[in-house]
């Protein structure tokens, strides 16, 4: 039986970037083949050395020429074709004898790799498998710390052996580019970047991922110092950041505005947090909010939590905006929806007064009113009003006037902040004011800790409501004249109104 041919990619230079499969095949092969220039030193063999085993046959395939200067009758192409035919014949002899052959390739075998010339000559004759590897382009982008392409950008990969004017034409019409095969071509490549008007955002990466790697702006590189194992990179236009030093991570710089995202966790369980909010929380450097709300966000050692008391909204907003001004990505955390009696208004007020340069996003969340309503049916099926009974930021007389007006308009009412230790009497006063204009049998839903561990929901009437059973973890829904309770206990407000 014939042996099996493997084209195995070794990655861009770091032996740890050799895939598990590649390492296994190298160690198991009968024959390991690799290319080298006339000095006989093979980069590929060096990368594979940790995975070789004693007793394997090694086939060193030495190029006859590495430039187009040759006295071969067929010129450079004739010399190189003759070499590939002879190399393929040597490998075929092993395959005919039933020996498995691994041909090593820097980077990826099918990405400007020497292996492809063996593949073209042998794959139709023998069982063959190609094992992909990390390309030099991917390695260079990782070392540079810059994305190659984002969204619908186009990446163009070019050989540096193209004429400078042709290179320039490609570079001027693409979003992102990688130019390989530098060395002696570097002068033309640099000229092409300059002619295309993109030299100022291009980078040079040499021997990426190895202990000899070098990264520099392309414009600053001396052509006399450029080896073959290097490339020029034009990164994504959508990531206009300075490249970090190799091994470093870009960090926010003081004076560079970050962002504040004001997010709502929803009223209780984690499933009620929207994917958009979850993404903003995951991206944040700092989390700012009322302590119990921050406790609902899973701990992440990368992030800094800034808990505070529930009555310092302005101070909390200012602290978040200052962090963002210093370059941090900040999530201000609210329960429910941040725009409903929560932090969004406070952040925007403070931003308008003192931080106009800081971007603020508001990401909606499921409200407590929606959550409580869903537990009993559809009491918010028609027009409704949302009122907070807190008089911390508005006079109590205003609260009572709004209650009477909304009740007189026959709106369903969602009452937030119904009763606290500091104002235990106010819910009873609100109940009395509502009874002045509403029937005692008006449906009332009391939801407590909905979505949480101590959830309870009960349906009663306006006359039977006991204010002593209500606290700040409750939300009340006061029905309209059209709110009904079904025999099964479901509550709904008709979408139609008589008249």
123: which 2 tokens? 């794959």
Q: How far apart are CA 126 and CA 313, in angstroms?
A: 73
Does one domain contain both 400 and 487? yes
Does residue 422 form part of some domain? yes
Q: How far apart are CA 394 and CA 387, in angstroms?
A: 12
CB 139 within 8 A of CB 68: no
Cα radius of gyration rounded to whole Å, the chain: 35
Going across the sheet that includes 5-9, the strands are 57-62, 31-36, 101-105, 5-9, 128-131
Does one domain contain both 128 and 150? no
Does one domain contain both 126 and 11? yes
CATH code where residue 120 lies: 3.40.1010.10
pLDDT in tens, 219-263: 999 888 898 889 999 998 775 444 444 433 334 444 445 899 999
Does residue 240 form part of some domain? no
Q: How far is CA 262 from the centre of its chain?
A: 19
Q: Are strands 101-105 and 5-9 parallel, antiparallel or unpaired?
A: parallel
Average pLDDT over residues 148-168: 93
Does one domain contain both 439 and 414? yes
Does residue 127 form part of some domain? yes
Does residue 183 form part of some domain? yes
Does one domain contain both 12 and 112? yes
Burial 50-89 (b: 16+ CB within 10 A, else e): ebeeeeeeebebeeebeeeebeeeeeeeebbeebbeebbe
Of 26-40, 231-245, 427-441, minimum mean pLDDT range: 231-245
Q: Of 234, 268, 284, at which residue does a domain stop?
A: 234
Give the pLDDT of residue 64: 85
Does one domain contain both 340 and 437? no
CATH code where residue 391 lies: 3.30.950.10
Give the pLDDT of residue 249: 34
State yes or no: pLDDT of 311 exceeds 80: no
User: Long-range contact list for 272-281, CB < 8 A, 24+ apart?
Assistant: 272/365, 272/366, 272/371, 272/451, 273/365, 274/363, 274/364, 274/365, 274/366, 276/363, 277/363, 277/365, 280/331, 280/361, 280/363, 281/331, 281/333
Does one domain contain both 390 and 432? yes
**Residue percentage of the chain with pLDDT more than 90:** 70
Q: Are strands 359-363 and 384-388 parallel, antiparallel or unpaired?
A: unpaired
**Contacts with 46 (C-beta within 8 Å, 6 or more apart), sequence order:** none
Q: Of 76, 107, 133, at which residue does a domain stop?
A: 133
Does one domain contain both 308 and 346? yes
Does one domain contain both 230 and 274? no
CB 206 within 8 A of CB 214: yes
Q: Of 314, 335, 366, at which residue does a domain stop?
A: 366
pLDDT in tens, 362-403: 999 999 999 999 999 999 999 999 999 998 889 999 999 999
Angle between helices 164-172 and 186-195 (to 10 degrees): 40
Q: How far apart are CA 180 and CA 177, in angstroms?
A: 10
Domain that holds residue 287: 259-366
Structure-token match 């067929």, residue found: 74
Domain count of the chain?
4
Average pLDDT over residues 83-102: 95
Does one domain contain both 296 and 214? no
Does residue 219 form part of some domain? yes
Does residue 246 form part of some domain? no
Which of the pair, 255 or 92, is modelled with greater confidence?
92
Does one domain contain both 404 and 294? no
Does residue 225 form part of some domain? yes
Does one domain contain both 303 and 399? no
Does residue 239 form part of some domain? no
């Amino acid at each position: 039986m014939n042996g099996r041919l493997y084209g195995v990619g070794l990655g861009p230079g770091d032996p740890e970037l050799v895939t598990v499969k590649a390492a296994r095949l190298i160690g198991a092969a009968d024959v390991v083949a690799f290319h080298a220039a006339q000095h006989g030193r093979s980069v590929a063999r060096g990368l594979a050395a940790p995975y070789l085993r004693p007793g394997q046959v090694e086939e060193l395939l030495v190029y006859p020429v590495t430039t187009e200067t040759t006295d071969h009758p067929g010129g450079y192409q004739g010399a190189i074709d003759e070499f590939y035919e002879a190399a393929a014949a040597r490998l075929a002899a092993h395959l005919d004898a039933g020996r498995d052959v691994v041909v090593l390739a820097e980077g990826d075998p099918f990405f400007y790799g020497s292996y492809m010339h063996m593949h073209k000559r042998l794959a139709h004759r023998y069982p063959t498998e190609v094992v992909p590897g990390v390309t030099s382009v991917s390695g260079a982008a990782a070392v540079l710390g810059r994305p190659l392409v984002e969204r619908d950008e186009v990446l163009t990969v070019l050989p540096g052996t193209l004429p400078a004017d042709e290179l320039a034409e490609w570079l001027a019409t693409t979003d992102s580019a990688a130019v390989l095969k530098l060395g002696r071509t570097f002068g033309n490549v640099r000229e092409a970047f300059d002619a295309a008007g993109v030299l100022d955002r291009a980078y040079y990466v040499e021997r990426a991922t190895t202990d000899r790697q070098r990264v520099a702006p392309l414009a600053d590189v001396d052509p006399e110092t450029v080896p073959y194992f290097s490339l020029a990179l034009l990164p994504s236009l959508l990531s206009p950041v300075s490249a970090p030093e190799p091994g470093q991570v870009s960090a926010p710089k003081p004076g560079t505005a970050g962002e504040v995202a004001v997010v709502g966790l929803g009223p209780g369980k984690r499933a009620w947090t929207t994917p958009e909010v979850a993404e903003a929380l995951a991206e944040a450097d700092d989390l700012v909010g009322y302590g119990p709300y921050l406790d609902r966000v899973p701990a992440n050692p990368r992030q800094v939590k800034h808990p505070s008391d529930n009555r310092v909204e302005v101070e909390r907003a200012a602290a978040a905006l200052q962090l963002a001004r210093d370059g941090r990505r900040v999530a201000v955390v609210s329960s429910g929806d941040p725009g409903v009696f929560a932090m969004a208004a406070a952040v925007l007020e403070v931003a308008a007064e003192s931080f106009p340069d800081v971007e603020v996003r508001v990401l909606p969340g499921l409200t407590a009113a929606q959550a409580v309503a869903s537990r009993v049916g559809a009491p918010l099926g028609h027009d409704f009003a949302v009122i907070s009974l807190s008089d911390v930021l508005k006079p109590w007389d205003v609260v009572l006037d709004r209650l009477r007006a909304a009740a007189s308009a026959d709106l369903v009412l969602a009452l937030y902040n119904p009763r606290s230790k500091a104002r235990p009497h106010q819910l009873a006063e609100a109940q009395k004011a509502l009874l002045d204009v509403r029937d005692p049998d008006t449906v009332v839903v009391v939801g407590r800790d909905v979505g949480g561990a101590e959830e309870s929901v009960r349906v009663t009437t306006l006359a039977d409501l006991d204010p002593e059973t209500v606290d700040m973890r409750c939300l009340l829904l006061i029905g309209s004249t059209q709110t009904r309770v079904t025999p099964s206990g479901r509550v709904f407000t008709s979408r139609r109104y008589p008249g």
